[in-house]
Amino acid sequence: MFRLCLTAELLKTLFFKGGLIMGKEFRILALDGGGLLGIYTAAVLARLEQHYGKKAADHFDLIASTSAGAITGAALTSGISGIELVQFFREKGVKIFHHNVEGTPLDFFRKIKQVLFTSKHSNAELLEAYKEIYGERTLADAGNFMCISAFNVTKGVTRVFKTPHHRNLEENRGIKLWQAVACSSAAPTFLPEYFPDFAGEENCGYVDGGTWANNPAMMGFTEAYKYFVGKKKKFKNVKIVSIASFAEELKRKKKLMSVRDWSFGMDFMGLFMTAQSASVDYMMENMLKDVKRGYLRIEPVVTEEMAKIFTADNTSREVLDKMVEAGNNSAAEALSGGESKKMLDGIFKTKKATNPRF
């Protein structure tokens, strides 16, 4: 015979801010950065949503994201599907990142200009696209707990834009989603720094969160254990699905010895972000190895040929098609069986255990 005892503590839990429900695992969706390479991430999510016939955002409590991942994460929490995001990257990417061919004289002079004078692309089209997709929604309007990474280059400090899921985070309440995403996705050398109109920060410039958290899984993990998971908290364990983008692996046959080989220093950014993503993946895999089906990393296999043409701003139809195909293949592999499918089945079987009300 099963008996449910509604103790004072349980009642408190049921009506806890954010609608937490005791006894379920806290689920995190972590989305890497990577410019237009984020279309791969969107394709993975689109394939998962198609397979289960459900929206991914309904099955994760917290979405931790960076740069292109922030574009995707903010869209998911706003009710936009994975397939709609794939279309967004296809349509807006071409306008934002003007395609050029590496190795041509025009490409050479663009790189010189980029290093010495300004960023490679304007952010005007990007900001308009953000306003179009997110409207006037604020962090307090999000349907999931959110963590979006950025870097305040003026003050030299990291910044995580969060939903107001704790009384200490009320300052984030009025920040618009498009502003948080704009701060997170201002990729150095590709786009200019973004100056938001936050109170007290009118003259502060922000750049891409990928400078310190290109793989935001650790950021999400830390947030979960700070507020939601652990002793005397509402959840006892955590599950993380981390989806990569097509990071620039620099798997090239040539030796990267000269300034020219390093694209006048610009490839260093891709290298640092790739290294950071790999280090977080290593730490998460080891920290959660004793948690049954607690961590899943979905990422593409990057060949040398892919590394040559897959860049954060290559908008050729061939490249975009190949990235979408790679996303479909990665999702299909994760769904093919084994521990990854068991974990995904468990996540998509039941909805998230939280219902944020900010």
Per DSSP, helices labelled H in the chain are: 8-14, 38-52, 68-77, 82-96, 105-116, 124-134, 177-184, 210-213, 217-227, 266-287, 304-309, 317-334, 338-349
Chain-wide mean pLDDT for the chain?
79
Q: Nearest 5 degrees, angle CA 298-CA 150-CA 205?
A: 150
List beta partners, residue 284. none
Question: Which residues neighbour 223 within 8 Å (Cβ) at sequence distance 6 or greater?
Answer: 62, 64, 145, 147, 160, 162
Q: Note the pLDDT of residue 120.
A: 47
| Cα 92 from Cα 14, distance rounded (Å) | 42
Instruction: Output the six-digit token pair for 318.
Output: 């061939």
DSSP structural state of residue 301: P
The CA distances from residue 102 to 18, 168, 313, 320, 338, in Å, are 49, 48, 11, 16, 41
Q: Note the pLDDT of residue 36.
A: 80
Instruction: Output the six-digit token pair for 71.
Output: 């574009």
Q: Note the pLDDT of residue 204.
A: 92
Q: Note the pLDDT of residue 282.
A: 76
Q: Note the pLDDT of residue 18.
A: 44
Residues of the chain with pLDDT under 70: 1-23, 94-123, 189-191, 247-276, 289-293, 311-313
pLDDT digit string (tens) for 1-46? 333 333 333 333 333 444 444 457 999 999 998 878 889 999 999 9
Taking Cα atoms as reference points, which of 218, 127, 209, 129 lies closest to residue 161? 209
Q: Nearest 5 degrees, angle CA 204-CA 207-CA 210?
A: 145
pLDDT digit string (tens) for 270-326? 666 666 677 778 777 877 765 556 999 999 877 777 777 776 667 788 888 989 999
The CA distances from residue 158 to 100, 119, 207, in Å, are 32, 21, 10
189 touches 114 (CB < 8 A): yes
Q: Note the pLDDT of residue 203.
A: 86
| Cα 150 from Cα 180, distance rounded (Å) | 8
Amino acid at 55: K
Q: Nearest 5 degrees, angle CA 330-CA 334-CA 340?
A: 150
Q: Note the pLDDT of residue 245.
A: 83
| Cα 67 from Cα 191, distance rounded (Å) | 12
Q: Note the pLDDT of residue 115.
A: 38
Q: Note the pLDDT of residue 293.
A: 64
CATH of domain 22-349: 3.40.1090.10
Q: Nearest 5 degrees, angle CA 285-CA 346-CA 70?
A: 60
The whole-model pTM stands at 0.82
| Cα 235 from Cα 228, distance rounded (Å) | 6
Question: Which residues neighbour 292 within 8 Å (Cβ) at sequence distance 6 or greater?
Answer: none
